[in-house]
Amino acid sequence: MSKILYIKANSKPEGTSRTFKISDNFVKQYKELNPNDEIITLDLYKEGIGFLSEEDMSLHKPASGEGKDHPILKYAYQFAEADKYIIAAPLWNLSIPAILKAYIDYISITGITFKYTAEGPVGLCQGKKAIHIVGRGGGYSEGHASEYEMGDRYLRTIFGFFGITDFSTVAADKLDVIGEDVEAILEKAIEKASQAVKNF
């Protein structure tokens, strides 16, 4: 049995996020294919994730097993204990929502998700897999505009830092471009996600 962490980062009211329309469908299909797996949904806005304070920063080198119930450290332990990750986060201002970056600051803990060695940092979450499901207003998957895409690029990099290199992306582009068929774009992304879920 695998443990899946479904990380959601969008402040829109229930049922209005186009990103969640794709990701919720992905999760539904995953449950159907893997009924014995455990899925933990972590909605960052409902969690009330905030920014790290000076005091919080002192927690970044906990003793082994220390602080599993701590309001900050518990997220890093939860992340490290998962086997697979579904990240549902739109592209906002060329990057990820700030609350998702704040969460990543919570989970980037030495000795939990990575460690330092004489040869440099080593991820402690190796052998796991992740998928990023993202809605984007413009066309950032290819061409010149792809150079401005910092969200998926950052997530792919930081997850690699944690040792998670099996990282895929399902993107719905041009959702805010006038003249585009938004429903068709979403349906295409949902279909792509339906194919991806079979190997997740």
Q: For strand 114-117 and strand 120-123, is the pairing parallel, antiparallel, or unpaired?
A: antiparallel
Stretch among 17-31, 78-92, 142-156 having the lowest mean pLDDT: 142-156
Q: Which CATH number do you get for residue 80?
A: 3.40.50.360
- Could you tell me which residue, 87 or 1, shows the higher pLDDT? 87
- Short-list 190, 185, 196, 88, CA closest to 139: 185
Query: Which tokens is 114 given?
Result: 């990575």
User: Which residue range is the domain that position 192 belongs to?
Assistant: 3-199
Q: What is the reported pLDDT for 63?
A: 59
CB atoms under 10 Å from CB of 75, counted, come to 23
Q: What is the reported pLDDT for 145?
A: 84
Q: What is the reported pLDDT for 127?
A: 96
- Report the domain count for the chain: 1
For residues 159 and 120, the answer to whether their CB atoms sit within 8 Å is no
Strand order in the sheet with 166-172: 38-43, 3-8, 84-88, 129-135, 166-172
Provide mean pLDDT across the span 101-126. 95
pLDDT digits (tens, 9 = 90+) for 50-87: 998 877 766 655 556 567 888 888 999 999 999 999 99
For residues 113 and 162, the answer to whether their CB atoms sit within 8 Å is yes
> 32 pLDDT exceeds 90?
yes
pLDDT digits (tens, 9 = 90+) for 164-190: 999 999 999 999 999 999 999 999 999
- Could you tell me which residue, 182 or 142, shows the higher pLDDT? 182
